[in-house]
Amino acid sequence: MLNTFNGGDKLRRCLDAVRWADEIVVVDSGSADGSQDLAKRYTDKFYYNPWPGYKAQREFGMARCCGEWILILDQDEYVTPELERKLRDISSEPDTYRSYNAVWIHRIEHFWGKRIRHGNYNPSYQPRMARRGKCSWTGGAHTYLVVEGGEAAILRVHEGLWHDAYNTPADYFGKINYYSDFDARDRLARGQRPSLWRVMLSPLGMWWKCYVVHRGFRDGAHGLMNATSMAVYWFFRLSKVWHARWLERNRPDSWEAYLARHERPGQGNP
């Protein structure tokens, strides 16, 4: 099952890599780049659903799956041949995996054209397979899978899921601007009020954690760029919350207010 929106060539690669599945369920939220027609060439279980949010869209798609095990993908994730073999084993050997209700899959991360092996991205295990009826979604901008049976019912597999994301700086900063909007709304709803010091220092802490603590320096120049970009993302999400709180207490400067205070020459009363 995958949610799509203007997936382009990444969507084609994603669908090519799961042709072996018993069924492919695609939920599109209004693509205008041909993704809908592309998806229909791979499956007759294609659905259009206007974007209701991450949690609701995943639930919409999973409710339309029939198999016992549901593989949940993003359109920029590709199942490797090694992972395909492992997932086939899980779905074809019910007795061996009866005690598990979800599968966390190792994701092969990339950043600006280079595989990232360290930093905050690794180890990267994502909830990408769920036993139908045994899992549910929670969260806002970042969804989380709640598994019946908890940690003991989660299987972690090491075969890789290729993550084709953040190919260029423009790609990365466009996405973090988009995702940080959702994250900021979640934080505002929870009542967060970050101080100016937190807005300034928290990104630096994230950079240190990514580059030094998690050894991002071992990825060379890309590791440095990745750590710095993570700090920028942290600044984006916190600064948007700080600004929203500032607007609750202040009226922003405007052109009209300026004109009211500074009369133009020749416009005064005669």
Residue 269 in this model has a pLDDT that exceeds 60: no
Percent of the chain residues topping a pLDDT of 90: 80
268 inside domain: no
Segment among 159-163, 228-232, 249-253 with least mean pLDDT: 249-253
265 inside domain: no
CATH label of the domain that carries residue 71: 3.90.550.10
State which of 105, 128, 163 marks the end of a domain. 163
> Is the domain of 104 the same as that of 189?
no
Range of the domain at 190: 169-249
Structure tokens at 239: 């600064």
Residue 11 in this model has a pLDDT that exceeds 80: yes
95 inside domain: yes
Distance (Å, whole) CA 21 – CA 14: 12
Residues 6+ apart with CB under 8 A from 233: 176, 179, 180, 206
pLDDT of residue 136: 92
pLDDT tens-digit readout, 70-120: 999 999 999 999 999 999 999 998 889 999 999 999 999 999 999 999 998
> Is the domain of 59 the same as that of 136?
yes
269 inside domain: no
Backbone torsions φ then ψ of 127, nearest 5 degrees:
-75, 105
> Is the domain of 32 the same as that of 152?
yes
262 inside domain: no
Confidence band, pLDDT 50/70/90 cuts, at residue 265: low
pLDDT tens-digit readout, 163-202: 998 899 998 999 899 889 988 998 999 999 999 999 999 9
pLDDT of residue 258: 87
Confidence band, pLDDT 50/70/90 cuts, at residue 268: low
For the chain, first and last CA: distance in Å? 73
Segment among 21-25, 48-52, 261-265 with least mean pLDDT: 261-265
> Is the domain of 118 the same as that of 18?
yes
> Is the domain of 138 the same as that of 238?
no
> Is the domain of 105 the same as that of 233?
no
pLDDT of residue 267: 58
SS3 assignment, position 189: helix
Domain count, the chain: 2
pLDDT of residue 141: 65
> Is the domain of 157 the same as that of 40?
yes
> Is the domain of 213 the same as that of 103?
no
Mean pLDDT of the chain, nearest integer: 92
> Is the domain of 16 the same as that of 133?
yes
Residue 28 in this model has a pLDDT that exceeds 90: yes
254 inside domain: no
State which of 111, 129, 163 marks the end of a domain. 163
218 inside domain: yes
Q: Which residues pair with 135 in a beta bridge?
A: 147
